[in-house]
A and B are shown apart, each in its own frame.
Chain A
Amino acid sequence: MSAIHLQNLVKKFGDFTALKTMDLAISDGEFMALLGPSGCGKSTTMNMIAGMEEPTDGKILFGERDMAGVPMGRRGVGFVFQNYAIFTHMTVRQNLAYGPKMRGAAKAEIDRRVGAIAEMLQLTPLLDRKADRLSVNILQRVAIGRSAIMEPAIFLLDEPLSNVDAAFRAVMRTELKQLQRQFRQTMVYVTHDQLEAMTMADRIAVMDHGVLQQVGTPLEVYNDPANVFVARFIGAPGMNLLKGRPAESDRGLVVDLGPLGITPPLPSELAAALRGARGEVLYGFRPEQASLVRNGQGLAMPVTFVERIGARTIVHLGLGEAAVKTVFDNDVGLAIGDTAIVAPTTSSVRVFDAATGLATKAG
């Protein structure tokens, strides 16, 4: 086990900067998800931790040890590839035994370790199967077992669930999380799927365009996104953001949304932080945290689309810049063309600076 420290990490490919500068401390035994859209630098970061790529600048420390110049075979890193990269020409047993065998371990020792790891991963009955005809959850276990047998200090997982169909993904998520509890290893998990990150990770590092946007527990990044990008990226659908200006009203500080009218009063802490500011802001609230209210108490918007997804119904309101989505119970009585008056739960409202995109910290 080992903590990982990334210090001023930079990676450039020619003129292209994949990673601008990254500082991240992953503690011992933590499950950290690197989350972001394609091209955000998450895989590059992972590859540098694994030693597949050399950083252009900055340091990677495992515990106290600087990893500069340490080749990937000697870092003590377990890596689970997107497609698992199982050696298909070998049996499950040969796959598991590969690492110790390459390091010249004795036969008896290899057998003992393979036996132990197979037992732990419930692979014992499959040991002599060829690895090319295994279902994907078995492949995942073999991939993890093959790395785990080397007792790596750190486990890196590169989108291991992206090739799996949606129904099975839930099963695999649970299994993976359980395995992590079993091994108690530091795990870094790269994904573009915020649901995976939310459900499995202890903490999430949200990245975009080679810049680390926010690090926090799943609830922290969901409840208190540091900026507009995180607000939009986390949550399905993401946070609603409406442009406006703070304005005083008889009920307290509100946001004047122009043609949409004025919002309900802001929560007092936000109001305190915003008072005096007159620049453009983005008024944000979660689709799940809005309710239908009577006239005059919320934002009146036309219903443009009703998406029924089973347990919930997503109602699209307004158009263009002034569009929001709200999530209601499945029996909500709204149809296209209706006017809905919605009000966000006061405590869930967040405000962002329109110019910088940064969240206004509640004073």
Chain B
Amino acid sequence: MSAVTVMTSKDEMKAVGAKPVSRDEGARLGFRLTLPAQILVLFISAFPLLMQLYISVTDWSPLSGTGWWNAWSMWNSFANYTDLAADARFWSALKRTAIVMIVCVPAEFLLGLALATLFADDFPGKRIFYSILLMPMMVVPAVAGYMFFMLFQSGGPVNDILSALTGSPVTIAWLSDPTLALIAVMVADIWQWTPLMFLILLAGLVGVPEDQIKAATLLGANPWQRFVTIVLPKMKTIIIIALAIRVIENFKIFDTLYIMTGGGPGVATETISVYIYKLTTQDLIWGYVAAIALAILVVLSIVAVFAMKRMARAREVPT
């Protein structure tokens, strides 16, 4: 009888003196190799979060005369959070932020979609209009803020145009009126961020398969029916992405707005970011700021998770 030796790959490795790498060992090696990067990520994301969480349960401020790591001595048993729940200015800032979002994001979406639909076909001068349309997005927000600040002065171009249109001198004090100031701020945001919507939606629109649109036409669908039954469903994923980006960004609206109104008149245009900015730089109650910031983070995370879930579901049905 002759024995037949079957060499497995493990045996071979033993034969040449190499240690076989088990699954666990592979995972451990991977962990060791990525450790520096993991530590870096931890430091960038987790550390500030934990620090914030820590400060948010204390009365610590930069004027406390001690480092933040000693803040435990100023433990205030969640007073910041109970204050937050009762802070009318916080809630009104949150409401205002929500109003700005509810007006701006849909307006940007609809304008962007209309423009994308327009630009999906060819027309003379398309390239020039395209470049002009993208310009607002490239303007530094601070500059845009100053621009709109000038435009909405009572002797500014907006009133001049209204005067010319109505035929009688118009001297609306846009930025001093609580309602008009909010409108002016929203106009600036829509002006600046419609191009981004347009760009994303155009990418989605040109990705809609031409054949399916033709097929729908041959089956008797009119342009509106085609848009609703073919184009929009095919763009679902990209629409969700565009909306999620703008909802999150818009929630943090700050620079343009702050330069235009500084949150005023009074607190008429004070959004969450502006409120936090004032608390941080003027009131210096950092423990409270940390509490607000965490609360907002929770809200935004919920939005992001919701959007990502929808996206995952949309991806199950590839277009």
Q: Which residues of B contact A77 (CB under 8 A)?
A: 218
A143: nearest chain-B partner, CB-CB:
B215
Q: Is residue A130 within 8 Å, beta carbon to beta carbon, of the partner chain?
A: yes
B280-319 Cβ-contact flags toward A at 8 Å (1 or 0): 0000000000000000000000000000000000000111
Q: Which residues of A contact B214 (CB under 8 A)?
A: 52, 72, 79, 81, 85
Q: Which residues of A contact B219 (CB under 8 A)?
A: 73, 98-99, 102, 146-147, 150
A89-B319 in contact (CB<8A): yes
Contact of B211 among A50, A72, A81, A90 (CB under 8 A): A81
Within 8 A of B (CB), among A91-132: 98-99, 102-103, 130, 132
A298-341 Cβ-contact flags toward B at 8 Å (1 or 0): 00000000000000000000000000000000000000000000
CA distance A83 to B215 in the complex (A): 11
B233: nearest chain-A partner, CB-CB:
A89
Within 8 A of B (CB), among A119-165: 130, 132, 146-147, 150
CA distance A52 to B218 in the complex (A): 9
B213: nearest chain-A partner, CB-CB:
A85
Q: Is residue B242 within 8 Å, beta carbon to beta carbon, of the partner chain?
A: no
In the assembled complex, how far is the CB of residue A230 from the closest CB belonging to chain B, in whole angstroms?
Answer: 31
Count residues of chain A with CB under 8 A from any CB of chain B.
26
CA distance A50 to B219 in the complex (A): 11
Q: Is residue B209 within 8 Å, beta carbon to beta carbon, of the partner chain?
A: yes
Q: Is residue B76 within 8 Å, beta carbon to beta carbon, of the partner chain?
A: no
Count residues of chain B with CB under 8 A from any CB of chain A.
21
CA distance A8 to B7 in the complex (A): 77
A102-B317 in contact (CB<8A): no
A79-B215 in contact (CB<8A): yes
> Given A50-B218, A89-B233, are A132 and B318 also a contact pair (CB < 8 Å)?
yes
Residue from B216, B220, B229, B317 with most neighbouring chain A CB atoms (10 Å): B220
B211-A102 in contact (CB<8A): no
B210: nearest chain-A partner, CB-CB:
A85
A132-B317 in contact (CB<8A): yes
Q: Is residue B234 within 8 Å, beta carbon to beta carbon, of the partner chain?
A: yes
Q: Which residues of A contact B236 (CB under 8 A)?
A: 89
Q: Is residue A38 within 8 Å, beta carbon to beta carbon, of the partner chain?
A: no
Q: Is residue B217 within 8 Å, beta carbon to beta carbon, of the partner chain?
A: yes
B217-A81 in contact (CB<8A): no
B204-234 Cβ-contact flags toward A at 8 Å (1 or 0): 0000010110111111111001000110011
Q: Is residue A251 within 8 Å, beta carbon to beta carbon, of the partner chain?
A: no
Within 8 A of A (CB), among B77-124: none
The 9 closest A-B pairs by CB, nearest first: A85-B211, A99-B219, A85-B215, A102-B221, A89-B233, A73-B220, A85-B212, A81-B211, A79-B218
Which residue numbers of B lie inside 8 Å of A, CB to CB?
A: 209, 211-212, 214-222, 225, 229-230, 233-234, 236, 317-319
Extra 8 A-B pairs, beta carbons < 8 Å, given A82-B211, A87-B212: A73-B217, A77-B218, A87-B230, A98-B216, A98-B229, A130-B317, A132-B318, A150-B219
